[in-house]
Amino acid sequence: MRKFNILSKIYGCVFILSFLALAGCSGDCLANRPPVETQASEQTAQTPVEEPLPAEAQAEIVGPVIEDADWEDSFNGLNGAAVIYDPAENCYQIYQPELASTRRSPCSTFKIISSLIALEHGIIDADASLRPWSGETFWNTDWNRDIDFPGAFRTSCVWYFREVIDEIGADTMQAELSKLQYGNCDISDWEGRLNTNNSNPALTGFWIESSLLISPKEQTEVMERIFGNHADHLSGVLDQMKAVMLLPEPGDAEFSIYGKTGMGKAYGVVVDAWFTGFADTASKRIFFCVYLGESDGKNVSSMRAKEIAVTILSNYLR
């Protein structure tokens, strides 16, 4: 019995000592821990508050709205596509989406690009842009004379821009097209030998039924990159471009249209016809492209593409 009492006392002492040791450890641990509220406040102070993204940046993340447009009446049976991009709404309206995404030769719409690059690099001096005519007789009588930049742009003088593009050079041209993300950016057929409709070196090039290709939707995107709110081109150059691209029609309307036609043939048949550019109202700028492809039994031309564009834009902007 006495032995049992002694053991009980020993076990009791061990228990008490163990309890005190644990209590001491817990107290030390708790003493070393900062208060919960202090931890939370320090974490809050270290975590930066995220500012909401601007509406334009949010729209870019979400992506533009793409809507099907019914402009069939304007095309009147012609094989073609049309695109309008409204940055204020971040919305594309597209007629014939498959064709609008098909790459074709830009033809003379490329004069917007070659003019822009030449003006920015000093190849064209707007105040001294007259180039002498070689004396060769061309099919377009407007080209058979000395001609300056505005005249060459408005009459779509190929020999003038053939000279300009050669002076820009392949390296600069390739760099600028890559920056603009211009279609397939393929200038490999620099001389335009792939053109089946013309073998005159003064009237051929990679941009005329040759290696360079772009879709109607991409045309609209390039116009926005050049003339949109975030463009990084010189304002004076853009003003010169606007001056040569402005259409006299629709006259006294409450908007202005700026653009360039383009047309290409294969074996004597028109296979590509374009009109692309932008339109301004008092409150906004929109970008557009109208394309016509080969249409059996129909009159396909760049002038017809321009007429369709003016009709569509007039209805859209009014």
Q: What pLDDT, in 10s, does the model give residues 59-112?
A: 556 789 999 999 999 999 999 999 999 999 999 999 999 999 999 999 999 999
CA distance 252 to 68: 30
In this predicted structure, what is the pLDDT of residue 310?
96
| Most distant pair of Cα atoms in the chain: their distance | 137
Q: How far apart are CA 82 and CA 244, in angstroms?
A: 23
Dist CA 253 CA 247 (whole Å): 12
Checking DSSP bridges between strand 285-293 and strand 80-86, what pairing results, if any?
Answer: antiparallel
Compute the distance between CA of residue 193 and CA of residue 210 in angstroms, rounded to an integer: 7
What is this structure's pTM? 0.81
Range 65-69 contact pairs with CB under 8 angstroms and sequence separation of 24 or more: 65/89, 65/90, 65/91, 65/92, 66/91, 66/92, 66/94, 66/97, 67/91, 67/92, 67/93, 67/94, 68/93, 68/94, 68/95, 68/97, 69/93, 69/94, 69/95
pLDDT at 173: 98
- List the chain pLDDT tens, one digit each, 318 residues: 444 444 444 444 444 444 444 444 444 433 444 444 444 444 444 545 556 555 555 555 678 999 999 999 999 999 999 999 999 999 999 999 999 999 999 999 999 999 999 999 999 998 899 999 999 999 999 999 999 999 999 999 999 999 999 999 999 999 999 999 999 999 999 999 999 999 999 999 999 999 999 999 999 999 999 999 988 888 899 999 999 999 987 666 789 999 999 999 999 999 999 999 999 999 999 999 999 999 988 889 999 999 999 999 999 998
State the Cα–Cα distance between residues 176 and 50, nearest whole angstrom. Answer: 36
DSSP 8-state symbol, 293? E
Beta bridge mates, 67: 93
Residue 118 contacts residue 110 (beta carbons within 8 Å): no
Angle at 42 between CA 41 and CA 45, to 5 degrees: 85
